[in-house]
Structure 1
Amino acid sequence: MRSTALALLLLASTATPAVAQQVPPPVAMPGDGPEDAKLKTLFHESDEASLKRNPISGIFRGDLRYADRLGDYLTDANINAERAASESDLTRLKAIDRTKLTPTDQIAYDVFQNQTEIALRGLTPEIVALTIVRPIDHFFGYQTFYPEFASGTGAAPFKTLVDYENNLKRNVEYAQIMDRAIVRFREGMKAGVVQPKLVVDNMIGQFDNLIAQGIEGSVFYAPVKTFPATISTAHQTRLRAAYAKQVREVILPAHQRMRDFLSKEYRPAARDSVGLGQMPGGPKLYEYLIESNTTLPLKAEEVHQLGLSEVARILREMEAQKTAAGFKGTLPEFFTYLRTDKKFQPASKDQVRLGYEAIGKRVDQRVREQFSLIPKTPLEIRAVPAFKEKTEAGGSYQGGTPDGSRPGVFYYNSYDLPSRYLWTMETLYLHEAVPGHHFQISLAQENAALPAFMRFGGNTAYAEGWGLYAESLHKELGVETDPYQRMGGLNDEMLRAMRLVVDTGIHAKGWTRDQSIKYMLDNSPMGKTDATAEVERYIAIPGQALAYKVGQLTISRLKAKAQKDLGAKFDPRKFHAQVLDTGALPMPVLEKKIDTWIAAGGK
């Protein structure tokens, strides 16, 4: 919506893929015919053109051909180029005879068509007018990911002198994007299409944090605190001076301009309401966001009712775990006990880190019982950087590179440490790390037989649906064996079910922030800090949170169907390979693929 690259980078709430090199031109596979060749040429040329328009996507993938630039985001030219590219791609696609493609390429055809059509609907003037004038928020704003990206510990490389020089050039464009965002915000003010005050206040807090870092404490200065041995002493001295000057004269002023604009000019014009339903054009935008995030043409009321039914089911399972734990009070009292008893609160950040490392070892001992496909990409466990931990999710994942030069990273959040309950850890690891996002993203990008858009792109319903489905494998993987950890799993599932209720409640039914937080606390043991961050996330990025449960229910339903139809022939390793081996599929395409696999006897 805000830009193609940003949508790709923040695809899965928090799960971002990567790859290690430029994608080579397509090669013929056994069985390919003329139409397959045309299709692969289209995919390759479309991807190459997209990388030129969106250089930062290439950097995340390890493709550094355009690493000296960031992109002309928030410009009319960028939007027009994206729209023209989508229209051209669809025209070329329709000229290819799908019936003459191999089975794998038929799937690729369907995915490309589905994704491009949905993307094109988001690039209509009607939708762009509602999105580009709200160019950043506290969850998907450039200021939420770019500082770490450019910090020396993120996705941008700092191995050569050219890498350091390229980063200086990108930082200039980042400051320009901040100024463009102010112009777009002012356009929205004239049209009455503005962010909620709540979102503005959170953004102001983020910019305050960045400004407070000063010069040598800035994440933008961090790359020159250490250097690889290949950088000479003379260049190190020069680069330190250049980075300090840039932070002082370019980065800090850009952040200060944005902070002052938001505080003095924009906030008074921002709206008190939090839902899209109260914004001009909001209901139409929300309808689009539901489909673009779930890949299904669902209506808000349909999603709301599905959420209510799932909440009721999970509450019954929570009652059973309360009984298993020997707790004598009511379920709400059990929730309070889980939130407040000191034994569930980590004593230190080290305890959290060591706990996740231990969980990882336990899962690794069992994972091959369920999976025949295991990623080659290594996994690291890291804390969320301090500058953004207050508004960051409890856990997130960033993809690594297939060649191992950059590992996949599972980030855990240790902000407000007493609220990071120990009983949440096993399910969070399953979702973000193994066999969740680390498997799903790594296996896709390691599969060089797939076109680039299937290796590195995707959709939220599949990515987050898989992550939530991965949580359901707790029994098979030997975790959540006590009622408290199982409550953690149910709590996370409840979170995704409540999202269906609360997101639609906020944006289609006029629910308030406080009403939404209360609903989440009343129906789960999650802490108020997490519930508040979740609700403010739904306010900032409407519709995204719906994809998790919709995707998981689809995968679980397909698994149940396969088990029923295949009987003794059903092998979970083969089922999981079918789900994972062609990248992130839209839900209709995934269902069609699994139906075909079942019809072939589950081989």
Structure 2
Amino acid sequence: MTWLAAAALALAAPAWAAQDAASRFKQIYDQEWTWRNGQAGIASSGEATPNGGRLDNVDAASQQKRQDYWQKVLKDLDGVDVKQLSPEDQVNYAIYRAQIQNLLAVQTFKQWQMPFNSDSAFWSDLGYVLEGDNLRTEPDYKRYIERLGQVPSYFNQQIDNMRDGLARGFSVPREVLNGRDVSIASVAELKDPTKSSFYKPFEKMPTSIAPADAAKLQDEAKQAIGSKVIPAYGTLLTFFRNEYVPKARTTLAAEAMPDGKAWYRQQIVEYTTLDLDPDTIHQVGLDQVAKIHAEMVKTMQETGFKGSFAEFLHFLRTDPQFYAKTPDELLMRSAWVAKQVDGQLGKEFGRLPRQRFAIVPVPADIAPYYTSGRGGAGSYLVNTYDLPSRPLYNVAALTLHESAPGHSLQLALAAEQKGQPAFRREGYISAFGEGWGLYSEYLGNEMGIYKTPYDRFGYLTYQMWRACRLVVDTGIHHLGWTRQQAIDFMTQNTALSDREIANEVDRYISWPGQALSYELGYLKMRELRQKAEQALGTKFDVRHFHDTILQLGSVPLPVLEKRIDRFIADGGPEPDFGCDCAKSKAP
């Protein structure tokens, strides 16, 4: 071989190595993603995912197989030379590796032995898993009926898992279980299968299905619901009331459970994507509470109120002028805010999603203990239960967070990123997503959405709410706070209603770490924006900055920081979305 040929080969080697690394990485995540979507209940965030609408086996043996599989995937990832990957694939690798680590942690700590919390549960999320809204053809309906028949086995496996959790002291605390059986009883106590939400897909079937065939499917659905689903909920209700609640742990702290300290640190890493200890987080929360309180007092004074801060909070919680008289009034106020936001989006974003969202009430069976609102790409859920606990001065901030420019906008844009791997496009990282939601509330100031001092106080009480979460979550799970301590802290510092505070505190108790993602993600985004504004000066374009964040989809905060550093180094350019999303026209 000549020296020239040898030199050429040496120059080509890195390219071949990069191709091999990229191919190997793609092979790993493609295979794992296909496998993962054949599993049920796999969600590192603790929330339900459809995963093809199947009811899979969730017994201990199947859980061990998942653990073994992800351990192998993590080992395979260790064999990929990350330095040889392209910059884009290095981002993909960081996101994917964190996903696998979190999924593996769920198995290692046996979180599947506690398959519900005060916010969500396998039995109330079952409708989403079955995907009854997506039935189009006769085979679709037949598969749906088949899955209904699998419910007893699925529930029995979940009950066995919960028994194992009870035996080792790994359970939802007894103190937050009061009333959590309502959503089980709403199905278990049905006498007519057609009154079940599981029968709803059969009420109006496609005309492409012959009437005789449709009638047969309806009869089969009634039989499956009446003989399988309703009895399965009945068995679960008996277990929940007679066994789970009496044997549930009497402690509150995550650190009080088996391997609790290690598990709580893992929850912190998963939900914040940062390696922070609980004491540091607690202090950040206290500092933010003090800062926001000063702003709240100033805003209170702008309203002309002459009493103390505590008296002002009482005034806000009890004066009828701040509360809707009907569910429709609350829904319409939310819609009006959303429409005002529509008129301002072009000033803040260069790219907007094509998908639109609906505003709908929270289902009645879960509304009593559900959060005030929750947004997704296609819907913004508004809780219209107990209207005296849903103050109108919070509606603007809530709507900005849950719909646009918050979750509905961010998730829709992420789904339209066709050039990204599915694990990234369909993934959700809480620190990014909830941080963006809270940042969206902040954008309400720039958009002029907070019209009155009361609206602004509502915005500030939502800011305070998220700062309090840092204090309360770490207080409960690390410092040994009681439920009442947490309620008192929230009551003294926010204008949330008593019901909202109780529901939220129960959520933090039963879902350790998740509450930390909001404020820490928000603070990072505010920090990065300030950094970009200072570095770029007159070249800073807020639309390019926001587009750059949203173009990423959902990423760990360290990955976001690296991307904004590159955005600054490149001079703040408009990003290439690589999707068929709409170009906004700024007014």
Compute the TM-score of the two structures, normalised by the length of structure 1.
0.87
Superposed displacement of residue 56, structure 1: 8.5
> Could you tell me which amino acid in structure 1 is paired with residue 177 of structure 2?
V
Indicate if the aligned counterparts of 2:50 and 2:130 stay in contact, CA closer than 8 A. Answer: no
Structure 1 gap segments, 5+ residues each: 1-31, 400-407
**CA shift in 2, pair 1:43/1:275, >3 Å:** same
SS of 2:374's equivalent in the other structure is strand
Match of 1:302 among 251, 262, 280: 280
- Summarize the Cα distance change of 1:353–1:366 in structure 2 as closer, same or farther, 3 Å threshold: same
Q: Percent identity?
A: 33
For residues 371-382 of structure 1, what are the structure 2 equivalents within 5 Å? Answer: 371-382=349-360
Partner of 2:12: none
Measured in 2, the distance between the counterparts of 1:301 and 1:514 equals 20
What is residue 585 of structure 2 aligned with on the other side?
none
Q: Equivalent of 1:71, from 43, 51, 56?
A: 56
Instruction: From 98, 102, 118, give the equivalent of 1:138.
Output: 118
| Residue in 2 that maps onto 1:166 | 143
Would the alpha carbon gap of residues 285 and 376 (structure 1) be closer, same or farther in structure 2, given more than 3 Å must change? same
Alignment of 1:193-272 (within 5 A): 193-214=170-191, 215-272=193-250
In structure 2, which of residues 387, 390, 410 is the aligned counterpart of residue 440 of structure 1? 410
Q: How does 1:89-488 map to 2 (within 5 A)?
A: 89-124=73-108, 127-128=109-110, 131-147=111-127, 150=130, 152=132, 156-214=133-191, 215-399=193-377, 408-488=378-458
**Residue aligning to 1:542:** 512
SS for the counterpart of 1:411 is strand
Q: 453, 458, 463: which one pairs with 1:493?
A: 463
In the alignment, the residues of structure 2 paired with residue 415 and residue 151 of structure 1 have an alpha-carbon distance, to the nearest angstrom, of 25
C-alpha offsets along residues 433-472 of structure 1, whole Å, 9 cap, x if unaligned?
A: 1011112111111011111111001311111111111111
Aligned to 1:520: 490
Kindly indicate whether structure 1 or structure 2 has the higher relative contact order, using CA contacts under 8 Å at least 6 residues apart: 1
Matches of 1:190 and 1:362 in 2, distance apart? 53
Q: Secondary structure at the match of 2:194?
A: coil
For 2:37 and 2:119, the matched residues in 1 are separated by 24
Contact 2:190-2:230 at 8 Å conserved across structures: no
Match of 1:80 among 64, 72, 78: 64
Q: Distance in 2 between matches of 1:473 and 1:355?
A: 19
Look up the equivalent residue of 2:419 and give its one-letter code. A
Partner of 1:52: 38
Q: 1:100 to 1:132 in 2, by over 3 A?
A: closer
The DSSP-based 3-state class of the residue aligned with 2:179 is: helix
State which drifts further: 263-272 or 563-572. 263-272
Displacement, 1:572?
0.9
Aligned residues: 551
- Contact preservation (8 Å) 1:318, 1:490: yes
Partner deviation per Cα, 1:410-435 (whole Å, 9 max, x = no partner):
11000101211111111111101101
User: In 1, Cα distance between the equivalents of 2:279 and 2:208?
Assistant: 59
Letter in 1 for 2:184: F
Cα shift at 1:366:
0.9
SS of equivalent residue, structure 1 residue 475 = helix
Deviation digits for residues 549-568 of structure 1 (CA, Å, limit 9, x no counterpart): 11111111111111111111
1:570 deviates by 1.1
Query: CA 1:525/1:515 → structure 2, altered by over 3 Å: closer, same or farther?
Result: same
Q: Which amino acid aligns with 2:240?
A: L
Question: CA 1:388 to 1:595, structure 2 compared with 1: closer, same or farther past 3 Å?
Answer: same
Q: In structure 2, the residue corresponding to 1:273 is in which secondary structure?
A: coil
RMSD: 2.1
Q: Displacement, 1:150?
A: 4.5
Unaligned runs of 5+ in 2: 1-17, 574-587
TM-aligned CA deviation for residue 327 of structure 1? 1.0
Aligned partner of residue 396 in structure 1, secondary structure: strand
Q: Are 1:345 and 1:420, in contact at CA under 8 Å, matched by a contact in 2?
A: yes
Are the counterparts in 2 of residues 554 and 587 from structure 1 also a CA contact under 8 Å?
Answer: yes
1:502 is the counterpart of 2:472: yes
Q: Please, which of 19, 22, 26 is the counterpart of residue 40 of structure 1?
A: 26
**Cα offset for 1:340?**
0.9
Is the contact between residue 151 and residue 223 of structure 1 (CA under 8 Å) also seen in structure 2?
A: no
Q: 2:287 and 2:128 mapped to 1: Cα distance?
A: 40
- Could you say which residue in structure 2 is the equivalent of 1:29? none
- Structure 2 CA distance for partners of 1:136 and 1:368, relative to 1, 3 Å: same
- The aligned counterpart of 2:576 is none
Q: Is the Cα–Cα contact under 8 Å of residues 303 and 453 in structure 2 kept in the other structure? A: yes
**Structure 1 residues 200 and 339: alpha-carbon distance in aligned structure 2, compared to 1, 3 A threshold:** closer
What does residue 10 of structure 2 align with?
A: none
The 8 Å contact of residues 432 and 554 in structure 2, kept in 1 or not, is answered as yes
Displacement after TM superposition at 1:147 (Å): 3.3
Q: Kindly name which structure, 1 or 2, has the bigger radius of gyration based on alpha carbons.
A: 2
Letter in 2 for 1:160: T
SS in 1 for 2:379: strand
Contact 1:457 1:584 in 2 (8 A): yes
Which amino acid letter does the alignment assign opposite residue 116 of structure 1?
Answer: I
Tell me the distance in 2 between the aligned counterparts of 1:247 and 1:375.
38
CA shift for structure 1 position 34? 4.9
